[in-house]
Structure 1
């Protein structure tokens, strides 16, 4: 598989495509789903070490998610699929991302072979940085202590990063962010991420009912298993290099057909055909839950109020972090 290019960022699929420019580098190892504040404690440690040593810094991650491989009946919803993860890692300042295919066979590799064949032989690492709970190899025998002992024996450095906590002293995790999305607590989800959560989706043809209501919407199918609570959201939308404010409804349209879950976005101050276009939708705030209305007129009145509330929320939008300024369109 060719290596996708993100400027000077190397998005590498598999060891055979690993470039010489990343060898002798500092590797941050983990799943990094969401690339949240806890993950970035690991990444920023790697960046600091790498810059001090004048070495390239990259993340090693795994696809599909290990929990999905071992429990395919309950796949893990990805906060940041592979391409989006690469974009966040690039924005964070890393030089690349190495994606290793994860399978039960890969999980059965001895911890000693992971170190010898991958970290040393294939990558020639100078330093490895992981979280406190990272395990690797057959029967998860590759503990943080095992990795540190291997580094001492083989001549590469190892740094283990303690868990990052939020303002309430709770550990930041991808699971907490998924739970926050499911509860409609966008403020918490975005706060734990350190940037506004975003989704890429292609605009599909719908029943065009929104046009009849005076609110023509772009209809998007979110990824399967998306836990996002049904309701109304204030959103920022990126399309072909341009940014728009908007209001969106996620749900089954109980006033009309109560069908499959659909994310419908109304872009403020936009005229044009969006069918087939890919929109990047950044969730800014949750406005209210999904409701069933007695008439189309009652729904329109509520949509007017929703639009006004969304405009107010978006008008006061400020960056959460420096990373947020690079990822969220504030223009």
Structure 2
């Protein structure tokens, strides 16, 4: 899959394009992108996703994002997208008139444009579907996907994750929620009580569900089961939010390695214990819970 930051960077050939933030690449996005791929195959041209980094709501509304750009690119590649144009989304870009945005899109020579029915663009979202029709012979505007009578959208997924309801988020994502990061050195307190952890550093702004979870830890084409704690570690007076994973079936040095943590099931909320002995007792219970789920 080829990636660019602007339409001028790719060859001037015909395409079929889909436009959107695609934060999380959830089931609704996947439905739209499957339409994109089918149209591109019918026209025998590349399928191109025109997206924004960061997602528009992250910049404009200050929400946390569901997928970093590397995570989004990996998901789009898995779906079979041919090319991605990931435009750096800044306040200056958001303030551009709709005509400039249309000029950029026209460089892609789209035979078909695929968007959601509510898609708007340009300063104050002044551009809409009728404007897109001026640059393409065919516009496909899809309604929002519903599941069990409710819309599938990133806002709902954020709400589930912020409440620890990772399994509900899974239903809308079509997969487990995941976080990619690099294992870095931490305080090494866990090993003192028999629970060594991998401290996974993720990009600032990535939404992490707070609490304790049963997770799948993926590294080097291998996967291991673990218990993740996401929070400030109140028992040891921690101040910053961290993602720490105790691996149940792996021992070794992972420092500097890029890993993916998949949140499978909620175990409990983070809490402050009277001391390390009380914390260790609870971690023993958490481990028994996770081991039972491994069977």
1:130 aligns with 2:115: yes
Separation in structure 2 between the aligned mates of residue 127 and residue 255 of structure 1, nearest angstrom: 56
1:230 aligns with 2:185: no
Contact 1:41–1:161 at 8 Å: present in 2 too? no
Contact 2:179–2:261 at 8 Å: present in 1 too? yes
Please list every run of 5 or more consecutive structure 1 residues that lacks an aligned counterpart in the other structure.
1-8, 316-331
**Cα shift at 1:247:** 0.9
**For residues 23-34 of structure 1, what are the structure 2 equivalents within 5 Å?**
23-34=13-24
Structure 1 partner of 2:50: 60
The structure with the largest strand share of the pair is: 2
**Cα shift at 1:314:** 4.2
Please list every run of 5 or more consecutive structure 2 residues that lacks an aligned counterpart in the other structure.
none
Separation in structure 2 between the aligned mates of residue 93 and residue 216 of structure 1, nearest angstrom: 38
Contact 1:234–1:314 at 8 Å: present in 2 too? no
**Cα shift at 1:267:** 1.1
**For residues 34-45 of structure 1, what are the structure 2 equivalents within 5 Å?**
34-45=24-35
Q: Which deviations, in whole Å up to 9, do the C-alpha atoms of 1:44-78 show, x marking residues without a partner?
A: 1111222222221121001233344445xxx3312
1:144 aligns with 2:125: no
Please say which of residues 181-190 and 235-244 is displaced more in the overlay: 235-244
Q: Which deviations, in whole Å up to 9, do the C-alpha atoms of 1:206-238 show, x marking residues without a partner?
A: 221111111111112344345434321111111
Root-mean-square deviation (CA), in Å? 2.0
Q: Structure 1 residues 290, 105: closer, same or farther in 2, change over 3 A? A: closer
Q: Structure 1 residues 195, 229: closer, same or farther in 2, change over 3 A? A: closer
Structure 2 partner of 1:18: 10
**Cα shift at 1:80:** 0.9
1:189 aligns with 2:174: no
Structure 1 partner of 2:140: 159
TM-score (norm 1): 0.82
Structure 2 partner of 1:76: 63
1:119 aligns with 2:105: yes
**Cα shift at 1:159:** 0.2
**Cα shift at 1:181:** 0.8
Structure 2 partner of 1:88: 75
1:245 aligns with 2:231: no
Separation in structure 1 between the aligned mates of residue 89 and residue 275 of structure 2, nearest angstrom: 51
Separation in structure 1 between the aligned mates of residue 131 and residue 195 of structure 2, nearest angstrom: 59
